[in-house]
Amino acid sequence: MKLEGKRVTVTGGAGFLGSFVVERLRAKGAEVYVPLIEEYDLTRLEDLRRMYETGRPELVIHLAAKVGGIGANLVNQATFFYENLMMGVQLLHEGHLRKVEKVVAVATICAYPKFAKIPFREEDLWEGYPEETNAPYGLAKKMLLVQSQVYRQQYGFNSCVLFPVNLYGPRDNFHLESSHVIPAMIRKCVAARERGEETVTLWGDGTPTREFLYVEDAAEGIVAAAERYDSSDPVNLGNGVELSIRDLAAEIARATGFTGRFAWDASKPNGQPRRCLDVSRARERFGFVARTSFADGLRRTVEWYLAHRAEADR
């Protein structure tokens, strides 16, 4: 798909990942429409239809999600399930009815089984139940894949579904009640350093592992799939590098200048034991390879946070 001159609607385009996707699309000459959350409730069919009528898209990139870290997932499981499911199923169906050329939908690494084999391979997505704290969210997003596959089979509708690993980078959500692990740790370490505190308390025991993808790399992968991938086979987006939460905390301490110690609150959940992706399919199918090292990405993230604290801490 040649993006120059294409009418593209990006749900979630004003958000963390979406803002970078929109910038990359516009740089390629696409005409981008971003439905704002203040104007559209995409769980409501009438609002979704109005979005399609206003944007008149030839391509839809679906990034909108109700999402948060472990704490937010624990207290909002029904909300996360319902809102993500309703957004996705109606968006794809309306896209089919309106004969949109293509939909690129972004799912979540949380869709994988809790004890998936390492590295996570796309063919293992159905080998077990997701980790309990975020299973409702992960399963709601996983339905994007089911719908993409059956709509392609029955209607010939062109869509694809991507499964990015944990994202981080500038413009992330740093609110302690809803943020993911990297921005939460950055905020806690910066605050402790400034107050002269010697201890930062973190959830879990630090043993789980995660893989992290820099947000601009993720945006590049999504746009590459829009241009060059026409299949409903699921595709992982990541860099294939596994990092323990304890090692992550040490990296963030160095990047923020925090010289104290971490206290691990083992009464809090760890989440999924391990996460690390097989990223070969994205490379083979549409040429995506993550380019940003974790050290560089973390440095840019901390620099952005320090420069935008008044905004980020709200």
Active-site residue, 137 included: yes
Among 137, 168, 214, 229, which one carries the catalytic annotation?
137
**Cis-peptide into 130, omega within 30 deg:** no
Residues carrying an active site annotation: 137
